Amino acid sequence: MRMDIEDDPEFDIFRDEDEDPDAEFERENDSNKEYVVYLVDASPKMFNTSCLSDNQQPESHFQIALSCISLTLKAQIINKSHDQVSICFFNTREKKNLQDLNGVYAFHLPQGDYLDRPTARLIKDFDNLQESFSKNIGSQHGVLPGSRENPLYNAIWVAQALLRKGSAKTVNKRILLFTNQDDPFGCLKGAFKSDMTRTTLQRAKDAQDLGITIELLPLSSPDEMFDLSKFYVDLIGLEGDELVNFMASTGNRLEDMKDQLRKRMFTKRRVKKFKFTIVDGLSIELNSYALIRPTVPGSITWLDSITNRPLKSERTFICADTGALVEESTRRFHPYKNQNIIFSVKELSEIKRVATGHLHLLGFKPLSCLRDYYNMKPSTFLYPSDEGTDGSMCTFIALHKSMIQLNRFAVAFSGSSSRPQLVALIAQDEVIQSGGQIEPPGMHMIYLPYSDDIRLVEERYSDTSGVPKASADQIKKASDLIKRLDLKDFSVFQFTNPALQRHYAVLEALALEEDEIPEIKDETLPDEEGLARPGVVRVLEEFKTSIYGENYDEESEHGTGKPTEASKKRKAHTEFAKKECESYDWGELADTGKLKDLTMVELKYYLTGHNLPVSGKKEAIVSRILTHMGK
């Protein structure tokens, strides 16, 4: 019997990605590289100001900045390893940069460039940097009265010089500036101060004119809010309302601040831009974004095990009848009625073209119609394109508002070339929590199944004599249980994927040639301590008794269900194979090389008899038998 592997895609997390053009598109977009310079203020103030973290450990602003950068680097090495990064400190005692400017220290690996792709070594060294910081780099007050030094100016200049490489058309260039000093020239006076301010702003503007974005990641403490208006508002060019919003999102609590920093460090990458036809003659431009997609370990590259050099794979097409090499054929066939029906590739794609346009509105339904099993793959987020008009934006906002108010979702047909299908569009209101955006405003596109994709499982287990339904008392006991086992602050993203964490921990250890692989904490395991609390144990027991009565243990042992027909057959088959297996002299057959003369059925007697996998070609099976026999 063939195993239905298709049935369970997570059977192997290292499976190849489906050939989804959307995903491809995304990857293409991802090749859109990013060069980032992290500019970290290293003035004494960064070290002196601290926040209390959740476990009441004080953490300095400098530490926060470093740990955020470290997290980002780790994400970059996994997802966007073609990005290039540089980490520069300013207001430092030592100096190290191409221009030899004072007060700026560019951190890099001896063998690497100042701006380079992140490597395992870089992350490792960077993580260790904090300890040696005061010795090797040192913190120092930046701008001082009477001194002409301007480390901030120098820092932007250094960053700009680092970002010189690559064309601004193909590479996103960004400077991320971490500081808690809202008024860098505060200690200066008069013309001197205005001169410094002016030159620094000009420096920043020059950088921006070259296509470099400067983003500010202000760190503030509860007793001293970061005041943008003192200086930075001009540097990053915010106006009016934006200013209010910008500050609102620089949180107070340490965790919030970290959260915000993390969010800001990533650039938005859209998947696609398309037209949403609402009615004939009225359509709006939308961008789609993949906000949720399974992160899988990177693809496998085959290497030569001797040289460890990557191999080039070559694909050839061979005619099965003549053995001749052929070009990739543009014709396909499908057997039907004892003949081969031939299709051209063009005809096949024509079949799939069932709709004109990309997304076509069909109507609306109440949200309660969207059942929990109407789901096929991760949703896609839609937001109006900024290339549209204000009219287009206005239409979107009006529909969005009304849909939320009326509790409805839209049904639309998405005519993508890979799988044209019905989709549900759910309007999502913006959710802001402790100053940060938790859910962005827009619409989520949910891919709906067709009747062909839905399986009637519950119906299969219907029973004419009625099925067990719980009594009111049993439901009450279940409610008590649910109340006790409540996860109050559950958030969907709170767990990291242990398989992935392990994967990268192994890779990191191997890349750094370390002997020990660090243990990864599996956060997904249930809270055993919590479950052992007396209150919890009591409700569990009460529920158990209400359902199973006193003899639960008996029930669970005997009640494993009657063996199904299939399992009976399988058992019989195994026993038969075992018996048959004994009638061969396997050792003899192996020694004389006669194994290959046996039929597959005969060979499988051995495999089944010894509980070995029976899959594979004859060659593989013979070698499996030989291995098992130790020959």
CA 220 to chain centre: 29
Binders of another protein among residues 454 to 473 (CB under 8 A) are 454-471
Nearest to 175, CA basis, from 205, 144, 198, 140: 205
The one-character DSSP state at 328 is P
Beta bridge partners of 137: none
- Of 158-166, 216-224, 226-234, 585-593, the window that binds another protein (rule: CB under 8 A) is 158-166
449 binds another protein (CB under 8 A): yes
To another protein, the closest distance from the beta carbon of 481 in angstroms equals: 8
Pairing status of strand 282-289 against strand 325-326 = unpaired
Contacts of 512 (CB under 8 A, 6+ apart): 120, 121, 124
Sign of the Cα torsion 7, 9, 12, 17 reads: positive
Amino acid identity for residue 448 in this structure: L
264 binds another protein (CB under 8 A): yes
Among 426, 598, 621, 625, binds another protein (CB under 8 A): 426
Beta bridge partners of 217: 178
592 binds another protein (CB under 8 A): no
Among 543, 586, 605, 606, binds another protein (CB under 8 A): 543
To another protein, the closest distance from the beta carbon of 75 in angstroms equals: 8
Nearest to 218, CA basis, from 196, 242, 188, 248: 248
Binding mask 275-314 for another protein (x = CB under 8 A): x---x-xxxxx---xxxxxxx-xxxxxxxxxxxxxxxxxx
Contacts of 184 (CB under 8 A, 6+ apart): 142, 143, 152, 200, 231
The DSSP H or E segment spanning 401 is: helix 390-406
Binders of another protein among residues 609 to 628 (CB under 8 A) are none
Binding mask 34-73 for another protein (x = CB under 8 A): ----------------------------------------
- Of 132-140, 206-214, 584-592, 614-622, the window that binds another protein (rule: CB under 8 A) is 206-214
Binders of another protein among residues 359 to 378 (CB under 8 A) are 360-366, 369-378
Cα 82-88-90 angle, rounded to 5 deg:
160
Among 169, 516, 550, 599, binds another protein (CB under 8 A): 169
To another protein, the closest distance from the beta carbon of 569 in angstroms equals: 9
Phi and psi torsions of 233, nearest 5°: -55, -35
Quote the tokens at residue 290.
């993949």
How many Å apart are CA 152 and CA 92, to the nearest integer?
11
- Of 39-47, 403-411, 572-580, 586-594, the window that binds another protein (rule: CB under 8 A) is 403-411
To another protein, the closest distance from the beta carbon of 270 in angstroms equals: 8
402 binds another protein (CB under 8 A): yes
Q: Which is nearer to another protein, 290 or 598 (CB)?
A: 290
Q: Which is nearer to another protein, 600 or 620 (CB)?
A: 620
Nearest to 447, CA basis, from 273, 275, 288, 296: 288
> What angle, rounded to 10 degrees, do the helices at 151-162 and 190-209 form?
10
Binders of another protein among residues 336 to 355 (CB under 8 A) are 336-337, 339-343, 347-348, 350-352, 354-355
435 binds another protein (CB under 8 A): no
Contact 612, 628 (CB under 8 A): yes
The DSSP H or E segment spanning 216 is: strand 212-218
Among 23, 71, 478, 581, binds another protein (CB under 8 A): 478
Binders of another protein among residues 482 to 521 (CB under 8 A) are 482-483, 485-488, 490-504, 506-508, 510-511, 517, 520
Is residue 457 classed as helix, strand or coil in its secondary structure? helix
Number of residues that bind another protein (CB under 8 A): 255
To another protein, the closest distance from the beta carbon of 597 in angstroms equals: 25
- Of 137-145, 176-184, 440-448, 579-587, the window that binds another protein (rule: CB under 8 A) is 440-448
588 binds another protein (CB under 8 A): no
Q: How many CB atoms lie within 10 A of CB 364?
A: 16
533 binds another protein (CB under 8 A): no
Nearest to 235, CA basis, from 194, 197, 191, 189: 197
Among 67, 130, 136, 474, binds another protein (CB under 8 A): 474
Q: Which is nearer to another protein, 153 or 178 (CB)?
A: 153
150 binds another protein (CB under 8 A): no
550 binds another protein (CB under 8 A): no
How many Å apart are CA 400 and CA 429, to the nearest integer?
8
How many Å apart are CA 559 and CA 553, to the nearest integer?
10
